[in-house]
Amino acid sequence: MEHLIEIKGVSHAYTTKSGPLPVLDGLEIAVPEGEFCAVVGPSGCGKSTLTRLIAGLMRPDRGEVWLHGARVTSPRKTVGMAFQNPVMLEWRTILENVILPLEIVAPKMPRAERVARAEHLLEMVGLKGFEGKRPSELSGGMRQRASLCRAIVHKPDVLIMDEPFGALDAFTREDLWQTMRDLRAAEPFTCVLITHDLREAVFLGDQVVVLSGRPARTQRVIDVDLPADRTLDILFEPRAQD
Ligand code: ADP
Ligand code: MG
């Protein structure tokens, strides 16, 4: 099987005033095309560092990052990113925020086509009717939905999400998990999700990579053996019969 993302023996240390700070140590991750890889690990273990390395925003000290059979050495247009606190431009409407990556990546695409693409995605995540609102007029969960649309509007090969649902309440978060699965069912893309939440990792992931230690290593890779049409019920133990 072709691996869309390959992290091979990646080590990285930051240079700090008190000397080098080793963060990642010989990381190994392989994500086949179309798969969803959830990465869990304690705070400060280097998860955000890993996202920057995959996106080509940084280069590792040692080891290699491969994307689609090419070594990553610079930022990629074919990578979409979503974060815990999405930065939305307040002077633009939701629709215009979602369209933004297309203006950069596909400047020649006709405006009507861009609008249609953004409207289609917003409808899929339940934001039909909110296209003309400003970001501050939406709830946190709605803003995160819009930011997911923005992250995939240009059809990136890979969507990298760094704790995207971390700031949301439990109910909103679970709604977003379902939206995420619906989006991927409609439009398959390869995903790397950074999360603290094991339930989230298991509900969304095809594989769960567990990082631990200082510097962090790949401690375990768990294949999630659950049906593709899993529902949230799967995360709850059946009640014991008495
Ligand atoms: P996580 O996302 O798992 O919480 P990070 O990748 O953000 O972890 O950070 C890993 C470690 O590297 C932390 O100890 C953090 O303080 C440190 N770190 C992150 N970015 C930098 C940087 N630009 N310069 C120096 N140290 C950094
Ligand atoms: Mg982080």
Cα(178) to centroid of ligand 1, in Å?
A: 30
- Ligand 1 binding pocket (C-beta < 6 A) is 14, 16, 21, 23, 41, 43-49
Q: What is the DSSP string of 156-209?
A: -SEEEEESTTTTS-HHHHHHHHHHHHHHHHHS--EEEEEES-HHHHHHH-SEEE
Which pLDDT belongs to residue 172? 92
Which pLDDT belongs to residue 202? 93
Print pLDDT tens along the chain (242 aa): 579 999 999 999 999 999 999 999 999 999 999 999 999 999 999 999 999 999 999 999 999 999 998 999 888 878 888 888 888 999 999 999 999 999 999 999 999 999 999 999 999 999 999 999 999 999 999 999 999 999 999 999 899 999 999 889 999 999 999 999 999 989 888 999 999 898 999 999 999 999 999 999 999 999 998 888 888 887 776 666 65
Which pLDDT belongs to residue 96? 97
Q: What angle do CA 23, 50, 70 make, to 5 degrees?
A: 125
Q: What ipTM was assigned to the predicted interfaces of this complex? A: 0.98
Coil, strand or helix at 104:
helix
Which pLDDT belongs to residue 238? 61
In eight-state DSSP terms, residue 36 is: E
Cα(87) to centroid of ligand 1, in Å?
A: 20
Question: Which ligand neighbours the alpha carbon of 40 most closely?
Answer: 1
